[in-house]
Amino acid sequence: MCEAGKSDHHSAERCVDFPVSVVLPAGGTGERTGLQTPKQFCTFLGRPLISYTIQAFESMPWIQSIVVAVAKENMDLMTDIIQRFKHRKVRAVPGGSTRHRSICNGVLALGEEERPAVGRPKVVIIHDAVRPFVEEDFLCKIAMAAKEQGAAGAIRPLVSTVIATTSEGYLDHSLERAKYRASEMPQGFTYDVISQAYQRCSESDFEFGTECLHLALQYCGTNAKLIEGPPTLWKVTYKRDLAAAESIIKETLSRSACVITGGLAEAVNLADALRKAVGALDMELDIVPDLMGDNARCLLKEWNFIQVSVSHSCLSEVEAILVALEAENRALLHPVVVIWVHFSRTDELPVSERAPTAITELASTAKHRNILIYGIQLKQSKHWERSASRVAEIASALIRERSPALVGQLLQA
């Protein structure tokens, strides 16, 4: 079985030594959001929700292929998303008029796989495209249980009690909540079980059913193993869920930052003071003199950079960060934040007077490449800790919000 606790790719790959493919049903219209755009195509920080879900599965090396089932009218849009965000392993197939029909089309597509490196999977993971926060260690457990049992599914405790109503709209009876669970996703099935279930199920199942685990039991006699999953498995259903999803995405991008000091004493002192101050804001700082040699690792793991410049007003250090980020195509999936902290000594003119438009012009071009540049101006003062704390508050807010409206602004600490 998978090792307990937080798995990484390596431990998951050791557990899952059989081919696993994924079907993401994404053929719905999202009526319950009240929006014109189907929720799977609503964008967060410039990227559609479905791209986050695809990327979560793509990041797992032991997933061999992904099929997304979308409405025929969205096939071109889906193809564009796959190309724009350089999604690998994934292809789009036409969905159906109901969720079961979409899933069935996805399962059939796995059976007709033509890509040479991709064979018929041993296990098929089915996961709603509008559940973007899937965790690898949990998915590994579902895949392993599906291989052993034929079917496995995620469950969560019920939040509200389930009741039955009379035809007149009165209470008939209520269920004992402790005996029931909410069926969530991901679910896993051996390819044989899920393909047989869809071959044997009825038109009524296709039209009105909502539970794949039921089809496996009803038509294949396969009783799914149920595994309680983390609260992150929730499904984006209502408009409020879109706001919640964006907040979670922003939070995951804002947990750390890399501070580049150039090795200058004032910059290193400020960085040390920043590290203490952001600790209270639940952020971690990695402090490096530059992004060369081993320090280049920051470019591959960080979404936020703080360049501390002392005295000079040119933006050459920020420009160097932009070049390095573009070389790694780092801003493809998420907007990267670069904050220029300009520290001027007491006898110097503030940069807002020396080069007021420099940062605005640079920020304007960078924004088109999904890199958000902000400026913070800091005047040398004897209240060192207070100034650093102010810079930390501003930088933390800029990183958390990633607001396009403040791009290119030079804020005063």
Ligand X SMILES: O=P(O)(O)OC[C@@H](O)[C@@H](O)[C@@H](O)CO
- Which of ligand X, ligand CTP, none does residue 27 bind to, with CB < 5 to 8 Å depending on kind? ligand CTP
Q: Does 128 bind ligand X (CB under 6 A)?
A: yes
Burial class (CB in 10 A: 0-12, 13-18, 19+), 284: exposed
Site for ligand X in 220-239 (CB under 6 A): 235
Site for ligand CTP in 213-252 (CB under 6 A): 235, 237
Residue type, 304: N
Tell me the C-alpha to C-alpha distance, in Å, between residue 293 and each of 92, 265, 298. Answer: 40, 21, 10
- Which of ligand CTP, ligand X, none does residue 96 bind to, with CB < 5 to 8 Å depending on kind? ligand CTP
Question: Which residue's CB comes closest to ligand CTP?
Answer: 28
Pairing of strands 181-190, 20-26: unpaired
Distance CA 252, CA 234 (A): 17
Which helix or strand (DSSP H or E) is residue 83 part of?
helix 75-84
Residue type, 135: E
Question: Which of 13, 135, 211, 348 is in the footprint of ligand X by CB under 6 A?
Answer: 211
Nearer to ligand CTP, 201 or 399 (CB): 201
Site for ligand CTP in 112-171 (CB under 6 A): 128-130
**Site map 175..194 versus ligand X, x via CB under 6 A:** --------xxx---------
**Site map 49..78 versus ligand CTP, x via CB under 6 A:** --------------------x---------
Nearer to ligand X, 18 or 219 (CB): 219
Compute the least distance from the CB of residue 41 to ligand X, in Å: 16
In the numeric block, which tokens belong to residue 47? 């990227």
Nearer to ligand X, 102 or 389 (CB): 102
**Site map 301..340 versus ligand X, x via CB under 6 A:** ----------------------------------------
Compute the least distance from the CB of residue 80 to ligand CTP, in Å: 17
- Which of ligand X, ligand CTP, none does residue 132 bind to, with CB < 5 to 8 Å depending on kind? none
Nearer to ligand CTP, 11 or 37 (CB): 37
| Residue 199 CA neighbour count, 13 Å, CB half | 9
Cβ proximity of 407 and 373 under 8 Å: yes
Q: Which residue has the tokens 């690792």?
A: 297
Site for ligand CTP in 26-45 (CB under 6 A): 26-32, 38, 40
Nearer to ligand X, 22 or 271 (CB): 22
Residue 310 forms beta bridges with which residues? 343
Determine phi and psi for 254, rounding to 5 degrees.
-115, 20
Which helix or strand (DSSP H or E) is residue 48 part of?
strand 47-48
Distance CA 294, CA 88 (A): 29
Output the CA angle 287-393-284, nearest 5 degrees: 35
Instruction: Using CB under 6 A, list all residues that contact ligand CTP.
Output: 25-32, 38, 40, 69, 95-99, 102, 128-130, 235, 237
